Amino acid sequence: MNTIAIVGGGLGGLLTAAEFKRRGAEPIVLEASDRPGGVAQTVVEDGFLLEPAASSMLLPKPDLSPILDAAGAQVTPATEAAKTRYVYTRGRLIEINESPAALLAPIVSVRGKLRAAAEPFVKHPAEAPEESLLDFLSRRFGPEMGRLGATLMAHGVFAADPADLSARGAFPAMVDLDDEAGSIIRGVLRRRKERPKPASPKVRASVHVPVGGMAGLARTLADYLGTAFVPNTPVKYVKPSGTGWVVETEGDSVTADMVVLAVPPHQARSITPPDVAEALDGTQVAPVVVVGIGAPASDLPLPEGFGVLVGPDSGFRTLGVLFESAYAPGRAPEGFALAKGIFGGSADPAAFDLADDALVELLTEETSRIVGTPVRPTWSKTVRTFPGIPQYRIGHAAWLRRLDEALGAHPGLHVAGWGYRGIGVSGLAKEANRLATLWEQQAERT
């Protein structure tokens, strides 16, 4: 009997399986398509490497690093440029680096800054148990900084509308600080004070990129799993059987003590028992388009930095532009540059319907305005992710609680991946760790 069956071989399922294996279990991963990696299918063409989904990771991280080490994944640190970020707002490009001087960056008016600085003293409780990110940050930091911050965070992480995104669902750690200390800033300071001093100096996490792109990382994780990664195997249904589970595939079935559905809710819904399917209902995804433009570096003069996020009144359609060749080694041929724009999401649903040529033109024009000189791409690529990025809209935290209750009635059935408790790779690793710990605890009890 296979003890653990994982449905879905995207980065979520692969990291979960690798963490189980690292801890001595023998998981099996059933993947519908012919390759590992899910939406993270790196495009390598004409010497350019374009990531249509995850493109970098912060390392070291306590949940992610041990998995990557065990699998033998090769990662390389980003260049120093990754430490500098830009915001395009109030009609100009503003650098935000890691120095204290960044606090003086003119991203909002002086009045807006003074109101933001008063955050620790603002006593203004939430009016609803789940606020939008826009309402939450505006309540804490004032309307100007709140709107800018909410827009940058919602666009940069979820391609979402900040007025729809649940602050608690999308950024729970930040809302916890406010719950604990009545202020985000005071919460940060309190945690810093209470944190025990590490025995040796802590290595600060920094941006890293996988060698061979995210598709290369997915392949490495699949190779680590060996024959336990089973491609071309769509799961039709998952049903309880005795004290365990039967996972039905086309013409075959697998029995398991534990099943992890590492697929987003809209895909999990059709393969689970009716009460779980009902609890999985009600979530939304939003399609996004990633557009890459490449050119000789002189025709695409990117600032030294990670990228730029655009503020609410910039008039741009792109939600952000990543300066791929500036921070990530190997993303463009020698002497060339690569920029990557992200369009669509629930922030701008109509952008997904634009033709590829129109999107390339838009990115070219908007990047020219951002860098302050005309850019002339000689290479371009458009990759669409459909149905798209899970949107943790208002109600997401309550939805998760209902889902947990429904899963509680089915011991051994779990969910993982970007549809639930964290949209990025480090969130996937955190969930992998949580599930593997649960399995260890269950194994100890039996």
Ligand X SMILES: Cc1cc2nc3c(=O)[nH]c(=O)nc-3n(C[C@H](O)[C@H](O)[C@H](O)COP(=O)(O)OP(=O)(O)OC[C@H]3O[C@@H](n4cnc5c(N)ncnc54)[C@H](O)[C@@H]3O)c2cc1C
Using CB under 6 A as the binding rule, the residues of this chain from 198 to 237 that contact ligand X are 234-235
User: Are 90 and 312 within 8 A, CB to CB?
Assistant: no
Collapse the DSSP code of 63 into the 3-class scheme (helix H, G, I; strand E, B; otherwise coil) and give the result. Answer: coil
Considering beta carbons, is residue 175 or 328 the nearer one to ligand X?
328
Considering beta carbons, is residue 108 or 383 the nearer one to ligand X?
383
Tokens in use for 404? Answer: 């947990």
Q: What are phi and psi of 287, to 5 degrees?
A: -70, 145
**Smallest separation (angstroms) from ligand X to the CB of 322:** 8
**Smallest separation (angstroms) from ligand X to the CB of 105:** 23
Q: Is 382 in the site for ligand X (CB under 6 A)?
A: no
Pairing type for strands 258-261 and 4-7 reads: parallel
**Smallest separation (angstroms) from ligand X to the CB of 126:** 28
Residue 405 is which amino acid?
Answer: E
Tokens in use for 179? Answer: 């719950």
- Per the document, the length of the chain is 446
Q: Which of 8, 407, 439, 1 is nearest to 229 (CA)?
A: 8
CA-to-CA dists, residue 86 to 106, 152, 339, 433, angstroms: 12, 11, 14, 33
Using CB under 6 A as the binding rule, the residues of this chain from 264 to 293 that contact ligand X are 264, 267, 271, 288, 290
**Smallest separation (angstroms) from ligand X to the CB of 192:** 25
Question: 118: burial class by Cβ within 10 Å (0-12, 13-18, 19+)?
Answer: middle
Of the candidate residues 5, 9, 306, 407, the single one contacting ligand X (CB under 6 A): 9
Question: Where does 182-259 have alpha helices with state H?
Answer: 184-194, 213-225
Of the candidate residues 60, 240, 333, 424, the single one contacting ligand X (CB under 6 A): 424
Q: Is 342 in the site for ligand X (CB under 6 A)?
A: yes
Region binding ligand X by CB under 6 A among candidate stretches 109-117, 120-128, 142-150, 420-428: 420-428
Nearest-angstrom CA–CA distance, 219 and 224: 9
Binding-residue pattern over the window 91 to 120 for ligand X, x denoting contact by CB under 6 A:
------------------------------
**Smallest separation (angstroms) from ligand X to the CB of 420:** 9
**Smallest separation (angstroms) from ligand X to the CB of 58:** 8
Of the candidate residues 152, 332, 363, 423, the single one contacting ligand X (CB under 6 A): 423
Considering beta carbons, is residue 218 or 337 the nearer one to ligand X?
218
Of the candidate residues 5, 18, 39, 152, the single one contacting ligand X (CB under 6 A): 39
Using CB under 6 A as the binding rule, the residues of this chain from 238 to 257 that contact ligand X are none
Q: Is 40 in the site for ligand X (CB under 6 A)?
A: yes
Tokens in use for 218? Answer: 């997915």
**Smallest separation (angstroms) from ligand X to the CB of 1:** 20
The secondary structure of residue 54, as a DSSP letter, is -
Could you count the other beta carbons within 10 Å of the beta carbon of residue 255? 15
**Smallest separation (angstroms) from ligand X to the CB of 364:** 19
Nearest-angstrom CA–CA distance, 298 and 147: 35
Considering beta carbons, is residue 140 or 340 the nearer one to ligand X?
340
Q: What are phi and psi of 140, to 5 degrees?
A: -80, -45
Residues engaged in binding ligand X (CB under 6 A)? 7-13, 30-33, 38-40, 53-57, 234-235, 262-264, 267, 271, 288, 290, 342, 385, 389, 417-418, 423-425, 428
